[in-house]
Amino acid sequence: MKRSAVPLFVAVLLVLTVLAACAPAAAPAPAAAPAAPAAATAKTYKDMTLCYPQLGAESDWRTANTASFKETAAKLGVKLIFSDAQQKQENQISAIRACIQQGVNVIALPPVVETGWDAVLTEAKNAKIPVIVVDRSVTADPSLYASHIGSDMVIEGKRAAAELNKLLPNGGNVLELSGTTGSGAAVGRAKGFREALNPNIKIIDSQTGNFTRAEGKPVMEAFLKKYAGQVQGVFFHNDDMAIGAIEAIKAAGIKPGDLKMVSVDGTRGGFQAMIDGWLQADVECNPLLGPQVMDLGLKLMNGETIVKEALTDESVYYPDKAKELLPTRKY
Ligand code: AHR
């Protein structure tokens, strides 16, 4: 027994060795799969340089609009190139040209007036820098800008007319203190006002106060001298002109409520004028556009399609709620 065990072991070993030699070679390790083409990394707010050639600092509305852009940019990490054109279109155009030179990602333009933008908008388009028109409108061909975001100024004018229609059911004479001549805000509000005013209410005069308190006062002084005893109502294109004009109205000995007065903006100053009995309604115009503009700008940087016209949802404020709402007002 002991002598035959060794050859048996050797035979088994031989068989195993032959089997191992005949076994198919192990499959080679698969080659690494070719790398998928790297997906373009989405841009973030920190990649954005936004140009904002603000038109000026004429009103509380404008101050709130500037603050909205500065605060939003700081919060999101957007690099903001801000300038103040001091109500001059040529300053806005120079600021846009400087931004094109710097190669900003997006230009947001609050145009001081409606016309005269075609050349500079074409330059931005040729440089492949999208422009978002903010607040007031432009008459340029819509293919020259990416989007317009702001208020519907015609509807604001219609809302003001609807209030005066209610306040003067038997008709009467009204005055209009208009905003900056040629601005989308003044053109739109004047148009909407005329379209919706009852035929028994007559606009006996209209003068610009350039959206400022400083000019609202003398314009109203001149009106009161010229039309003493002939006026029942006033439409102000913004609260700052109303506040300036109220000084003139007080000085003339007119009491709150003697004239029916409607304004636009819904600023804290406008709310205070309602509380004090001077304004009977204030049509809202929202200046807090920074977050929406930067959101649209980022979408454009990421190649997304954006809406061509984004009009803000707005309402009308009245004296009965003014005291309660004033502390909640952001501008
Ligand atoms: O374009 C918006 C208008 O401009 C606001 O009603 C006014 O207050 C501002 O100056």
Q: What is the pLDDT of residue 40?
A: 76
Which of 127, 150, 128, 126 minimizes the C-alpha distance to 138?
Answer: 150
Determine the Cα angle at 180 with ends 178 and 181, to 5°. 85
% of the chain surpassing 70 pLDDT: 88
Evaluate: CB of 105 within 6 angstroms of ligand 1: no
SS3 126: helix
Confidence check: pLDDT of 204 > 70: yes
Evaluate: CB of 211 within 6 angstroms of ligand 1: yes
**What ligand 1 atom has the least distance to the C-alpha of 60?**
8
| CA 99 / ligand 1 centre spacing (Å) | 24
The residues, any chain, with a CB within 8 Å of residue 240's CB and separated by 6 or more, are 58, 59, 60, 61, 211, 212, 213, 216, 265, 267, 269
| CA 82 / ligand 1 centre spacing (Å) | 18
pLDDT tens figures, 103-121: 999 999 999 999 999 999 9
Confidence check: pLDDT of 98 > 60: yes
Instruction: Kindly list the strands in the beta sheet with 147-150, ordered across the sheet, starting from the edge strand earlier in the chain.
Output: 79-84, 49-54, 106-109, 131-134, 147-150, 309-311
Q: For all residues of the chain together, what is the average pLDDT?
A: 92
Evaluate: CB of 117 within 6 angstroms of ligand 1: no
Confidence check: pLDDT of 266 > 70: yes
**HEC per residue, 251-280:** HCCCCCCCCEEEEEECCHHHHHHHHCCCCC
Confidence check: pLDDT of 136 > 80: yes
Which of 68, 265, 282, 314 has the most ligand 1 atoms within 8 A of CB, as the residue to mutate? Answer: 265
Q: Virtual CA dihedral for 142, 148, 183, 205, nearest 10 degrees?
A: 110
Q: What is the pLDDT of residue 10?
A: 43
| CA 319 / ligand 1 centre spacing (Å) | 21
Q: What is the pLDDT of residue 34?
A: 52
SS3 152: coil
Which of 54, 58, 59, 317 has the most ligand 1 atoms within 8 A of CB, as the residue to mutate? Answer: 59
Residue whose structure tokens are 């333009």: 109
| CA 96 / ligand 1 centre spacing (Å) | 21
Which of 60, 32, 9, 4 minimizes the C-alpha distance to 286?
Answer: 60
Report which residue type is found at 306: I
**What ligand 1 atom has the least distance to the C-alpha of 135?**
1
Evaluate: CB of 282 within 6 angstroms of ligand 1: no
Evaluate: CB of 236 within 6 angstroms of ligand 1: no
Q: Where does the pLDDT of residue 44 fall: very low under 50, low under 70, confident under 90, or very high at 90 and above? A: very high
Residue 14's Cα: distance from chain center in Å? 88
| CA 282 / ligand 1 centre spacing (Å) | 13
Q: What is the pLDDT of residue 141?
A: 98
pLDDT tens figures, 148-190: 999 999 999 999 999 999 999 999 999 999 999 999 999 999 9
**Mean pLDDT value across residues 13-41:** 50
pLDDT tens figures, 58-88: 999 999 999 999 999 999 999 999 999 999 9
Q: What is the pLDDT of residue 25?
A: 43
Confidence check: pLDDT of 38 > 70: no
Q: Which DSSP string corresponds to 190-217?
A: HHHHHHHS-TTEEEEEEEE-TT-HHHHH
Q: What is the pLDDT of residue 22?
A: 39
pLDDT tens figures, 217-262: 999 999 999 999 999 999 999 999 999 999 999 999 999 999 999 9
Confidence check: pLDDT of 16 > 50: no
Which of 54, 62, 113 has the most ligand 1 atoms within 8 A of CB, as the residue to mutate? Answer: 62
| CA 299 / ligand 1 centre spacing (Å) | 27
Confidence check: pLDDT of 11 > 70: no
| CA 59 / ligand 1 centre spacing (Å) | 7
Q: Where does the pLDDT of residue 19 fall: very low under 50, low under 70, confident under 90, or very high at 90 and above? A: very low
Confidence check: pLDDT of 313 > 70: yes
How far apart CA 300 and CA 107 sit, in angstroms, is 11
Q: Take residue 328 and report the two structure tokens written for it.
A: 């909640």
Q: What is the pLDDT of residue 39?
A: 63
What are the φ and ψ backbone dihedral angles of 50, each rounded to 5 degrees? -110, 130
